[in-house]
Amino acid sequence: MAQVTRPRELSSPERLQAFTDAVVAIALTLLILPLMESVGDLADEEGTTAEWFDRERFALLGFALSFLLIAVFWVHHHRLFRVVRRVDSGLLWLTVGWMFTIVWMPVATALSTQMHPDWAQPLVYIGTLLATSVMLLTARLHLRRHPDLHTMDRVESAAGIRSGAIVAGLFFLALIVALIAPGLGNLPLILMVASEPLQRLSTRRLERAATA
Amino acid sequence: MAQVTRPRELSSPERLQAFTDAVVAIALTLLILPLMESVGDLADEEGTTAEWFDRERFALLGFALSFLLIAVFWVHHHRLFRVVRRVDSGLLWLTVGWMFTIVWMPVATALSTQMHPDWAQPLVYIGTLLATSVMLLTARLHLRRHPDLHTMDRVESAAGIRSGAIVAGLFFLALIVALIAPGLGNLPLILMVASEPLQRLSTRRLERAATA
Amino acid sequence: MAQVTRPRELSSPERLQAFTDAVVAIALTLLILPLMESVGDLADEEGTTAEWFDRERFALLGFALSFLLIAVFWVHHHRLFRVVRRVDSGLLWLTVGWMFTIVWMPVATALSTQMHPDWAQPLVYIGTLLATSVMLLTARLHLRRHPDLHTMDRVESAAGIRSGAIVAGLFFLALIVALIAPGLGNLPLILMVASEPLQRLSTRRLERAATA
Amino acid sequence: MAQVTRPRELSSPERLQAFTDAVVAIALTLLILPLMESVGDLADEEGTTAEWFDRERFALLGFALSFLLIAVFWVHHHRLFRVVRRVDSGLLWLTVGWMFTIVWMPVATALSTQMHPDWAQPLVYIGTLLATSVMLLTARLHLRRHPDLHTMDRVESAAGIRSGAIVAGLFFLALIVALIAPGLGNLPLILMVASEPLQRLSTRRLERAATA
């Protein structure tokens, strides 16, 4: 009977990883859809390539930024899943939630680069990034509560949570700034440059604590 | 000569799984296409992000619902394939049929969220979900008839079939309600909340029978 | 130096398979694009779901047919690659050519279901199917010439080539019929129902020859 | 503590390969999007399949060329990753950069086949190809500096770098020609036919040097 009622191991980490990879790869590639469409539109007006670059400057920037951000998120997700041994229901649905925010990214990017600017625009883009990082952070917290699911020791787990909290915290801060000063657009994301130094600071502290 | 005529093992479960994963991942991601298009359309009218959210409320809801449902279907399919050892012609084509209903989902979702409401709309959406669940249930029944294809014992197999029958039965019930009262749209899907309690009830009975 | 000049093993069969799977899965899913677009178009005219089904009957049929055909092609390709041990340059490029015809399928389908009928329409659709089957047949012939690439014995290899030649031959026949009577559209594809009986006939002969 | 601070192994080569494969497969397939759209457009004007082929001649050529080029790039990337044992941060981000240029290819192709010709058009297309080849060459140079990441010996590594430098050099030459004579369009790419003879020449020299 044990097999009927086994509640924890719902999926192999490998297959969930492969599925996640496919979803991220598609979202990454669908970022070009608005660019493809604008090529078609300008072609109808007998436009040239130089004109297209001039007109789509902002869309190109948005495409490059979102590509980079999704790649960074994928790397973070990937690093976490390297130490996952088993997938329980909680981790499964947190991963589905994380994928939802990734699939939403091309829409957030299109809104961010194509719409007439308003207060909602930066909130949607930065809010999506916040949601992605919170999903991953929650997955890390879930793993800490269930040591049987992974191969991290306490120190590694704590380092990961700290690192995820720094990223989520900075996105939250950027969201607050965007809420106060919507005229800045997605500029508050510049706060993310603080992520790397803060991470390094946190690691150093953690190491000092461990050797103490 | 045995190898020329071996009729049963047509595909490795791993490769069929990987192919299924890719198809589901793409269908999941293509759900955003109507949203992407509506961003482009509203951008042409100099609309703002807030206006877009207001106008696409229903499409957003449909996107989120279909994303969730495809994810749930994937999890169910995935759980079943974890115990599959070999793939015969029947299982292969049932999986292709299942994939067909998944690939159709973005179209059913687009019809459900973009069209002027009529009697056919909820039938198509709920009918698609019914078809997906019936395909998986048929795969379970096929596996029960061919014990050499999987590693489930009788109790597990019966539990899976019961569970699949509950889901398919509830979708069927929702379809009937939608047929009688088309004005409700996709609301009859609310019947699906009965799935979890019914599953638990069925599991308890099964366990009692097994221990008896 | 052996490693610099090794000319034969250019790719692992597993990775080439995985790549092929991804390409086929995407082509399979992109078949819905014209349907998605027509939903958007009819939505602009305040159409209903029932009207859409009525108007897109032919496109729906084409979608289902192409889905089925790509699935069948995938199964055939997949069965062949189960016995491939190593991939040389010839097999690699034949697989790329095969993928090219698969990626082209959504375009051939769109032409077949959306365009005003003319003599070229059935030629393109049936010609694409012929090209796919010829690519796979050529891969089989290539494998026969290079026994070090696969694990098939002579009987299996001959059976596969016979089977592939039957399929390609029937597509060729359908193409000829379409050339002579373009008014039939894709109807000459009905010749493919002869594939199964011809295959069985060929297998029986092969077995008789083997036991003789 | 070793595990917290291990800076080098960030990703398994297998998973990075699988992710890369998915991205390339999608980019390869999205090349058909402009063709799909033009089918829809001409269908609105009651056009025929023959008319479509006549009108889209150039777009079809561009599709076939880009399909071939992406396939070639994939094969080169794939060959390199067969010898990669571990992935460090540098290799990871070089691969992300390489993927970026691949995802950009459908846009460059659309610009190249749909826009009114201008000086920028060939620069974008040939420049994209140059960027892809430079990314792979840089990855090769990175691997040479870090022997712990791969299983190539010095001779193999040098051969790969020479080969990559020849390809990148020819793309650069083609870019220069396109800059001087923009009226030629993408014709300077014909220089790439020199790649194979130059490679063979370089291999022969390398072998002579090794046996000397």
DSSP characters over B42-63: HHHTT-BHHHHHHHTHHHHHHH
Which residues of chain D approach chain A closer than 8 Å at the C-beta?
A: 1, 3-5, 10-12, 15, 18-19, 22-23, 26-27, 30, 33-34, 37, 92, 96, 99-100, 103-104, 106-107, 110-111, 114-121, 124
To the nearest whole Å, the CA of C49 is away from the closest chain B CA by 5
Cα B117 to the chain's mean position, in Å?
23
Structure tokens at D73: 């790039």
Classify each residue of A51-63 as buried b or exposed e, where b means 16 or more C-beta atoms within 10 Å of its C-beta.
Answer: bbeeebeebbebb
Q: Taking residues B183-191, what's their average pLDDT? A: 89
Residue B212, pLDDT score: 65
Q: Distance, in angstroms, between A211 CA and closest chain B CA?
A: 44
Are C34 and D35 in contact (CB < 8 Å)? no
Contact criterion met (CB < 8 Å) for A32 and D34: no
What is the pLDDT confidence band of residue A7, given thresholds at 50, 70 and 90? very low
- D40 contacts in C (CB within 8 Å)? 34, 37, 110, 114
Answer yes or no: do A35 and D114 touch at CB < 8 A: no
C164, burial (CB in 10 Å: exposed 0-12, middle 13-18, buried 19+): buried
Please check whether residue D4 lies inside any domain of the structure. no
Structure token digits, residue B19: 């192919």
Classify residue D18: in a domain, yes or no: yes
Amino acid A86: pLDDT: 92
Q: Is there a contact between D46 and D39 (Cβ–Cβ < 8 Å)? A: no
For the record, the structure tokens of D58 come out as: 């150039």
Q: Indicate the DSSP class of residue D115.
A: S
- In-domain check, residue D7: no
Cα angle A162, A164, A170 (rounded to 5 degrees) comes to 100
Phi first, then psi: what are they for D116, rounded to 5°? -60, 130
Give the C-alpha separation, A206 to A156, whole Å: 10
Query: What is the distance in angstroms between the Cα of C61 and the nearest Cα belonging to chain B?
Result: 13
Mean pLDDT of chain B: 89
Joined together, the tokens standing for residue D70 give 């992406």
pLDDT-above-70 percentage for chain B: 94
Q: Which residue of chain B comes nearest to A106, CA vs CA?
A: B36
How far is Cα B78 from Cα A10, in angstroms, rounded to an integer? Answer: 9
D49-66 in b/e form (b: 16+ CB < 10 A) is bebbeeebeebbebbebb
Q: Which of B5, B23, B88, B94 to mutate to test binding with chain C, by most C CBs within 10 Å of its CB?
A: B23
**pLDDT confidence band for C182 (50 / 70 / 90):** confident
C145 CA: distance to closest CA in chain D (Å): 23
Q: What share of chain C is helix, strand, coil (3-state, %, to 5)?
A: 85, 5, 15
Residue C206 has a pLDDT of: 72
Sort out which chain A residues have CB atoms less than 8 A from B36's CB and list them: 30, 33-34, 106-107, 110
Burial of A166 (0-12, 13-18, 19+ CB in 10 A): buried
Subunit contact A121:B29, Cβ cutoff 8 A: no
Closest among C137, C118, C140, C110 to C33, alpha carbons compared? C110
Higher pLDDT, B93 or C2: B93
Of C4, C118, C121, the CB nearest to D159: C4
Q: Which chains form contacts with chain D, at 3 or more CB pairs under 8 Å?
A: A, C
Partner-chain residue, chosen from C26, C104, C120, that has the shortest CB–CB distance to D53: C120
- Is the predicted pLDDT of residue C3 greater than 70, yes or no? no
Sign of the C-alpha dihedral computed for residues B118, B120, B121 and B123 taken in this order: positive
pLDDT, position C7? 40
Q: For residue A25, which residues of chain D lie inside 8 Å, CB to CB?
A: 19, 22-23, 26
Neighbouring chains to A with at least 3 Cβ pairs closer than 8 Å: B, D
Quick one: tokens of B209?
């029978």
Which tokens hold the place of A146?
């269930």
Q: Which residues contact D205 (CB under 8 A, 6 or more apart)?
A: none
Residue C113 CA: distances (Å) to CA of B33, C29, C48: 21, 17, 21
Residue D170 to residues C119, D166, D179, D180: CA-CA distances in angstroms? Answer: 43, 6, 14, 15
Q: What is the pLDDT of residue D212?
A: 66
Tokens of C115: 């365009």
B117/C43 Cβ within 8 A: no
Residue C121 and residue D211: Cβ atoms within 8 Å? no
The pLDDT confidence band at residue C165, using thresholds 50, 70 and 90, is very high
Backbone angles phi and psi of D17, in degrees to 5: -60, -50
Alpha carbon of B158 to those of B64, B92, B154, B198, C27: distances in Å? 32, 21, 6, 15, 37
Average pLDDT over residues B55-61: 93
Domain residue limits at A183: 11-211
Q: How far is D161 from chain C (nearest CA, A)?
A: 12
Interface of B with C (CB under 8 A): 1, 3-5, 10-12, 15, 18-19, 22-23, 26-27, 30, 33-34, 37, 92, 96, 99-100, 103-104, 106-107, 110-111, 114-121, 124
Give kind and range of the element (H or E) at residue D39.
helix D33-44
Q: If we measure between CA atoms, which residue out of C42, B37, D105 comes closest to residue A41?
A: B37
- Contact C3/D36, CB-based, under 8 Å? no
- pLDDT score of C156: 87
* C-alpha–C-alpha distance, residues B55 and B49, integer Å: 10
Task: Determine whether the interchain pair D33/A29 forms a contact, defined as Cβ–Cβ distance below 8 Å.
Answer: no
Could C22 and D17 be called an inter-chain contact, meaning their C-beta atoms sit closer than 8 Å? no
What three-state secondary structure class fits A153? Answer: coil
- Reply yes or no on whether the pLDDT at A4 is more than 70: no
Q: Above 90 in pLDDT, residue A183?
A: no
Residues in chain D with pLDDT < 70? Answer: 1-11, 212
pLDDT tens readout for residues A143-182: 999 999 999 988 889 989 999 999 999 999 999 999 999 8
Separation of alpha carbons B211 and C20, rounded Å: 48
Q: Which residue of D has its CA nearest to C19?
A: D21
The pLDDT, as a whole number, for residue B6 is 41
**Among partner residues A15, A27, A100, which is closest to B17 by beta-carbon distance?**
A15
Residue of chain A whose Cα is closest to the Cα of D35: A40
| Burial (Cβ within 10 Å: 0-12, 13-18, ≥19) of residue A86 | middle
In a domain, residue B112? The reply is: yes
Cα–Cα distance list, C46 to B60, C23, C35, C40 (Å): 19, 36, 16, 10
Residue D87 lies in a domain: yes
| CB C20 within 8 Å of CB C95 | yes
**Shortest alpha-carbon distance between residue A118 and chain B (Å):** 6
Q: Which two tokens stand for residue D202?
A: 């370089």
pLDDT band at A5 (very low <50, low <70, confident <90, very high): very low
Name which of C3, C18, C23 is nearest D29 (Cβ-Cβ): C23
Mutate to test the interface with C, among B32, B37, B116, B121 (most CBs of C within 10 A): B116
Q: What is the CB neighbour count within 10 angstroms for residue B70? A: 22
Task: Look at residue D204 in the predicted model and tell me its pLDDT.
Answer: 83
Could you tell me which residues of chain D have a Cβ less than 8 Å from any Cβ in chain C? 17-18, 21-22, 24-26, 28-29, 31-33, 35-36, 39-40, 42-43, 46-50, 52-53, 64, 67, 71, 74-75, 78-79, 82, 153, 155-156, 159, 203, 206-207, 210-211
Nearest by Cα to A114 from C208, B47, C172, B107: B47
C92: closest CA of chain D, how far (Å) = 9
CA-nearest of B181, B78, B189 to B128 is: B189
Residues 6+ apart with CB under 8 A from D65: D109, D186, D189
The 10 Å Cβ neighbour count of residue C120 is 19
Contacts of D1 in chain A (CB under 8 A): 155, 207, 210-211
- How far does the CA of residue C186 sit from the closest CA of chain B (Å)? 22
Count of Cβ atoms closer than 10 Å to residue B85 Cβ = 12
* Cα–Cα nearest to C155, from A122, B6, A185, A22: B6
Kindly report, residue by residue over D153-182, the tens digit of the pLDDT.
888 899 899 999 999 999 999 999 999 998
Determine the distance in angstroms separating the CA of B181 from the nearest CA of chain A, rounded to an integer: 32
The closest of D101, D35, D92, D93 to D74, measured between CA atoms, is: D101
Domain count, chain D: 1
Contact check, Cβ <8 Å, A31/D119? no
Interface test with C, best of B11, B17, B111 (most C CBs within 10 A): B111
Q: How far is C186 from chain D (nearest CA, A)?
A: 13
pLDDT for C10 equals 55
Q: Is residue D3 part of a domain?
A: no
Kindly state whether residue C42 falls inside one of the protein's structural domains. Answer: yes
Minimum distance, in Å, between the CA of residue D198 and any CA atom of chain A:
33
More confidently predicted of C209 and A42: A42
Q: Do residues B161 and B102 make contact, with C-beta atoms less than 8 angstroms apart? A: no
Judging contacts by C-beta atoms under 8 Å, the chain C residues touching residue B12 are 82
pLDDT in tens, A119-146: 999 999 999 999 999 999 999 999 999 9
Q: CA-to-CA distance for B209 and D101, rounded, in angstroms?
A: 61
How confident is the model at residue C115, as a pLDDT? 92
Closest CA to B181 of B131, B136, B126: B126
